[in-house]
Amino acid sequence: MKLTLLFLLLSTQAYAKELSVKFGTIAPAGTPWADSLEEIKVRVGKESGNQIKIKTFLGGQLGGELEIMQKIRRGNIEGGGLTCGAMASIIPELDLLEVPYLFESSEEADFILDNYLLVPFRKLFEAKGFVMLTWAENGWRSIGHKSKLIKSPSDLKAVKIRSQESKVHLAFWKKVGASPVAIATPEVLPALQTGVVEAFDNTPLFTLAAEWQTAIKFYSVTNHIYQPAAVFYSKKFWDRLDANQKKILTGPGNGLAREIRSNVRKLGEGLLAVLKESGVNTYNLTAAERESFKKASEGLAEQAVKDIGGESAKIFALIQEGKKAFKAKK
């Protein structure tokens, strides 16, 4: 009898140590994002002796990005990986990172995000009920259209374009004369198919992963927005963990950013070839055409700082400081 009770007690204790972590994202299966999450899942399982089990819900299974973020904040989901544009609904300062043509290259963006913005944004995340683990990325966004080639801002006049649920994105589309419609990611393809919208912007990778290319004939490489993302946990969940669990879930911290970015970027130009093979006409803007888009977006950053308030002026100053430092080290 005593042995039976002892066995039950030990079993209960072992079970109590197991930790289940639900992780939500709109990233589809078969993408570098899904692969990176799988690597995190395997590492955490191994280091915890399989006592911490991460279960990933890909492709918006738990809802759109705004819905996922709200669930994480409430502690209904333990963690997630989302774009900064979506997270800006709760952490407004993130919208500054999505100002068109804010960053001149991926290398510049990496340098500024890692060396100037990581600590300030970790504090902003914590203040809103999150624990930021690492930066990630969606990449450079360009424009897809069902029936029209976009070569200049004037080509977007009155175009019904899907906009990410972000104030900066919406402001940009309105500034160039488009008619933006904010639509959650899982609903974009049906919206394109039914004519609710006729265009969208996103990276070649996400366009293919979400099969949005099946609804368009043209894809213009504007690279108008570099879109960071972040991996983070619910603070309500985090505060219940012991030190060892936190250490395992933290892992290399923002050291993960290098791997995640590499996994996304190594596909590179090959994705444009895939778009072509799928029947989409792709077009790379000339320097003059790209400059017309940059000119059309002038003033958005300064306006965003005024509209956002909070720590936005400080964040914008850090971005400018980081730009100067990046140029100096080249």
Give residue-wise pLDDT tens across range 153-210: 999 999 999 999 889 999 999 999 999 999 999 999 999 999 999 999 999 999 999 9
CATH code, 218: 3.40.190.170
Full residue range of the structural domain in which residue 107 is found: 19-329
Which residue has better confidence, 14 or 268?
A: 268
Is residue 43 within 8 A of residue 76, CB to CB? The reply is no
Q: Rounded to an integer, what distance in angstroms lies between the CA atom of residue 302 and that of residue 313?
A: 9
Averaged pLDDT, 226-249: 97
Token readout for 111 is 């340098």
Classified as helix, coil or strand, 51 is coil
- What pLDDT score does 4 carry? 42
Q: What is the pLDDT of residue 5?
A: 40
User: Quick one: how far is CA 3 from the chain centroid?
Assistant: 52
* pLDDT of res. 8: 38
Q: Is the residue at 6 inside a domain?
A: no
Q: How many CB atoms lie within 10 A of CB 147?
A: 9
Residue 122 has pLDDT above 90, yes or no: yes
pLDDT classification of 258: cutoffs 50, 70, 90: very high
Residue 23's CB: how many other CB atoms inside 10 A? 22
14 lies in a domain? no
List all residues 6 or more positions away from 328 whose beta carbon is below 8 Å from its beta carbon. Answer: none
- Examine residue 4 and state whether it is found in any structural domain, yes or no: no
The pLDDT, as a whole number, for residue 330 is 72
Share of the chain above pLDDT 90, in %: 89
Q: How far apart are CA 306 and CA 312, in angstroms?
A: 8
End-to-end distance of the chain based on CA atoms, in angstroms? Answer: 73
Compute CA 197 distance to the chain's CA centroid, rounded to the nearest angstrom.
Answer: 22
Q: Are 135 and 267 in contact (CB under 8 A)?
A: no
Instruction: Classify 132 as helix, strand or coil.
Output: strand
State pLDDT tens for residues 135-157.
999 999 999 999 999 999 999 99
Confidence of residue 12 (pLDDT cuts 50, 70, 90): very low
Q: Does residue 116 belong to any structural domain of this protein? A: yes
Please give the radius of gyration of the chain, using alpha carbons only, rounded to the nearest integer. Answer: 21
pTM here is: 0.91
**Is 37 among the domain residues?**
yes
Q: What are the distances in angstroms from CA 299 to CA 121, 197, 261, 304, 306?
A: 23, 27, 29, 9, 11
**Residue 27 in this model has a pLDDT that exceeds 80:** yes
Q: What is the pLDDT of residue 267?
A: 85
Identify whether 142 is part of a domain.
Answer: yes
Mean pLDDT confidence for 223-242: 97
Q: What pLDDT is stored for residue 207 in this prediction? A: 96
Neighbours of 250 (CB within 10 A): 16
Contact 212, 283 (CB under 8 A): no
304 three-state secondary structure = helix
Residue type, 33: W
* 8-state DSSP, 311: T
Residues in contact with 127: Cβ distance below 8 Å, sequence separation at least 6, in sequence order? none
How many separate domains does the chain show?
A: 1
- Tell me if 323 is assigned to some domain: yes
pLDDT for the residue 84: 93
Q: Rounded to the nearest 5 degrees, what angle is found at the Cα of 172, between the Cα atoms of 180 and 152?
A: 90
Q: Is residue 8 part of a domain?
A: no
pLDDT value at 3 more than 70 = no
Q: Is 45 exposed, middle or buried (0-12, 13-18, 19+ CB in 10 A)?
A: middle
pLDDT at position 165 is 86
Q: Which of 29-33, 161-165, 181-185, 296-300 has the lowest mean pLDDT?
A: 29-33
9 pLDDT above the threshold of 70: no
Q: With H, G, I as helix, E, B as strand and everything else as coil, classify residue 165.
A: coil
- Select from 94, 93, 74 the least CA-distant residue to 85: 94
Distance CA 45, CA 238 (A): 17
What integer is the mean pLDDT of 124-130? Answer: 98
Residue 141 near residue 223 (C-beta atoms within 8 A)? yes
Comparing 10-24, 169-183, 229-243, which segment has the lowest mean pLDDT? 10-24
